[in-house]
Structure 1
């Protein structure tokens, strides 16, 4: 696949700003809930996100990453689109069935599930944009989603004094607006699809989908255990305290996605040592920046949380621990770029499964003793183990992986643009 990266500093910054704006919008929704709804409603909203996110990531199979790194010109965008549409539909069916079976069905849950599914479809339309360097378009639709969602919730809660259910349901407007903006991105002739190609893509991508689901479960298992050991209100407090790190993770993930095409292009003509050098530089820069953020967060945690959410949500120790977990995760994202560039998707899955096992065991042990602080410590343990596993796999690849080029990709070969 060609990678005509036109992205200079301005487009990259614009795309990252759009992602940041989206997450700020989601954060504003959470802040509005803490101010205009009870702690239970905040917990229900957070629990709906925690339940729907893993299913959405599993069926999404990180197809945007697979598309950008794909080397077969015979596979069209339409193949990826059909697979994503099928996955989003499956997400809706499974999540609603789960909610009915467990008695958690409600307007908030339904709204969150449909938002996740629509956003998943929008994401695949960003794949050809990313490949062709149209990063500002990606940033625009992300920012539009965040602004419209937050504005609609604020309008119904603050100005119309509507119920929380109605306000959260209105957030669908943001997802729909982003989808409509993204629809014209590919040309009409890219909507061809073939069943054999779709199966090939699914066979390649399923480990990445499971890995993404496992990473989401790593973040959400402490919420599940809090809900079982304490109550849904504790889930709301933990999620509010953690959301600053969620924004940070989203920014790091967006930057990683934007860097991926350049690393893929470099890896086509260079061997493993050059890629290792690039990843090491990214790891060093990310470590330095994230360490500074953790230290700063330690000093401002208590006044910041009280100002944002109120005294009910003032958990400075939990916040500092979660910042440390975020720092480890940010470095891990940089190493994961190397694994994705080498298309070592199964290694990503193995590292994620080991980390999930660790965070699950730690959650049951620590939350029972320390409640919210235990949830933060469990998240930190999982992040550190995830980082170590990814580093082991990337910096100690099999001998053949050090010297081969990506499968099917001869040196200096130009692949035609499929869009």
Structure 2
């Protein structure tokens, strides 16, 4: 199907706007839950987010960067869509089993499961976002994420404010966003290109098999940041996790802001690598690194100057009293953003072994350091453990990337 494409600059702007707006709405959820329901409920929401993120990694299967860098159209759009139904079902089954086995309260269990249903709407949208990106129509990504951000924030605020019931609030939020993805994204993508389901089991199996290292990497990558929080809830309790999660959430804007800028470059990395264009590949990589560095500098300066004021404004003095957590958390988000950039590049050049090994070592470091440091340093130990793990990840990623570039660009 023929359609008008937009420029890379416009794509970056639309993608960045929509993604940052959506992330901002997600962040405001953690602000509102403290204001409307208290720190204890904030800890339950933070736990639901942390656990759901692990299973969300299985649902998306690490496929987005592979999909948008599939410049030869090895697999049809319908194959990607069908595969998402399979991975979504498997991840939901895993989340149900995990929640049933672990000794959480009934409210915690229900919140985890319902919040994960909400995350599945994101996973389903993600496959259509990949279609938008390949067609260079990322304006639709921005529009969809803006609308879903409004729906998420609006439904959460109204229902929690009226009922005070977290379970009902999350259920309404999930249903609202699911309806929007079906009514808007499925229809819009279908007007751009062929999105009919492909019931070719062999093609779907081959796709899932080829991307299997990516889902391993994605699960491991998510676990790097989730492990310190799960250990914190076990050792320090929901209250401390609520405080930590509240301080941490604003810092994600820095991390995700950098991600949304370099994500559109993944397709470009794949094209330049296939063309053996060393100069173009290097220029794109330098541009992305500089963008991450600039956002990092702005975030650290802003956190230093406005940290206490911002936390007090958003959460009140109860959370602002822990402002010492802010700068280490900002530093962690910067490191994570840089690691994600390198992971995207390695995916584009199909260096899957390096992705897996880098994250294996990082997970080991995260678990060991969290167990050791959180007992002796409390909440601050979680940030230090995450920073150490991410530095290990970055070092291994660089090693594999340089080796791959040397072979391809000889």
TM-score by length of 1: 0.89
Other-structure match for 1:259: 265
Other-structure match for 1:11: 11
1:57/1:26 CA distance change after superposition, 3 Å: same
1:189/1:250 CA distance change after superposition, 3 Å: closer
Give the Cα–Cα distance (whole angstroms) in 1 for the partners of residues 222 and 128 of structure 2. 22
Stretch moving more, 111-120 or 244-253: 244-253
| 1:150-180 deviation digits (Å, cap 9, x = unpaired) | 101111233x244232222221113431343
Runs of 4+ in structure 1 over 6 Å off: none
Other-structure match for 1:68: 68
Decide whether the 8 Å contact of 1:144 with 1:174 is kept in 2.
Answer: no
1:14-53 mapped onto 2 (5 Å cutoff): 14-53=14-53
Decide whether the 8 Å contact of 2:43 with 2:241 is kept in 1.
Answer: yes
Q: 1:24 offset after TM fit, Å?
A: 1.2
Decide whether the 8 Å contact of 2:11 with 2:264 is kept in 1.
Answer: no
Q: 1:5 offset after TM fit, Å?
A: 6.4
Decide whether the 8 Å contact of 2:77 with 2:195 is kept in 1.
Answer: no
1:291/1:386 CA distance change after superposition, 3 Å: farther
1:25/1:189 CA distance change after superposition, 3 Å: closer
1:65/1:398 CA distance change after superposition, 3 Å: closer
Decide whether the 8 Å contact of 1:149 with 1:170 is kept in 2.
Answer: no
| 1:122-166 deviation digits (Å, cap 9, x = unpaired) | 1111111110111010111111111101101111233x2442322
1:85-124 mapped onto 2 (5 Å cutoff): 85-104=85-104, 105-106=106-107, 107-124=110-127
Decide whether the 8 Å contact of 1:76 with 1:193 is kept in 2.
Answer: no
Other-structure match for 1:334: 341
Give the Cα–Cα distance (whole angstroms) in 2 for the partners of residues 293 and 379 of structure 1. 18
Give the Cα–Cα distance (whole angstroms) in 2 for the partners of residues 217 and 97 of structure 1. 18
Mark the runs of 5 or more structure 1 residues left unpaired by the alignment. Answer: 404-419
1:103/1:333 CA distance change after superposition, 3 Å: closer
| 1:29-59 deviation digits (Å, cap 9, x = unpaired) | 1111000112221111111111121112123
* Corresponding residue to 1:219 among 225, 241, 247: 225
Give the Cα–Cα distance (whole angstroms) in 2 for the partners of residues 265 and 109 of structure 1. 40
Give the Cα–Cα distance (whole angstroms) in 2 for the partners of residues 189 and 386 of structure 1. 36
Other-structure match for 1:153: 156
Decide whether the 8 Å contact of 2:351 with 2:400 is kept in 1.
Answer: no
1:399/1:145 CA distance change after superposition, 3 Å: same
Other-structure match for 2:375: 368
1:177/1:169 CA distance change after superposition, 3 Å: same
Decide whether the 8 Å contact of 1:283 with 1:335 is kept in 2.
Answer: no
Decide whether the 8 Å contact of 1:144 with 1:178 is kept in 2.
Answer: no
Q: 1:336 offset after TM fit, Å?
A: 2.8
Decide whether the 8 Å contact of 2:351 with 2:404 is kept in 1.
Answer: no
1:185-200 mapped onto 2 (5 Å cutoff): 185-186=189-190, 187=193, 190-200=196-206
Q: 1:312 offset after TM fit, Å?
A: 2.0
1:103-252 mapped onto 2 (5 Å cutoff): 103-104=103-104, 105-106=106-107, 107-158=110-161, 160-172=162-174, 173-184=176-187, 185-186=189-190, 187=193, 190-252=196-258
Decide whether the 8 Å contact of 1:69 with 1:264 is kept in 2.
Answer: yes
Q: 1:296 offset after TM fit, Å?
A: 2.5
Give the Cα–Cα distance (whole angstroms) in 1 for the partners of residues 405 and 27 of structure 2. 42
1:117/1:295 CA distance change after superposition, 3 Å: same
Other-structure match for 1:298: 304
1:175/1:143 CA distance change after superposition, 3 Å: farther
Mark the runs of 5 or more structure 2 residues left unpaired by the alignment. Answer: none
Stretch moving more, 169-178 or 130-139: 169-178
Other-structure match for 2:325: 318
Give the Cα–Cα distance (whole angstroms) in 1 for the partners of residues 179 and 359 of structure 2. 32
Please report the RMSD computed on the Cα atoms of aligned residues, expressed in angstroms: 2.2
TM-score by length of 2: 0.91
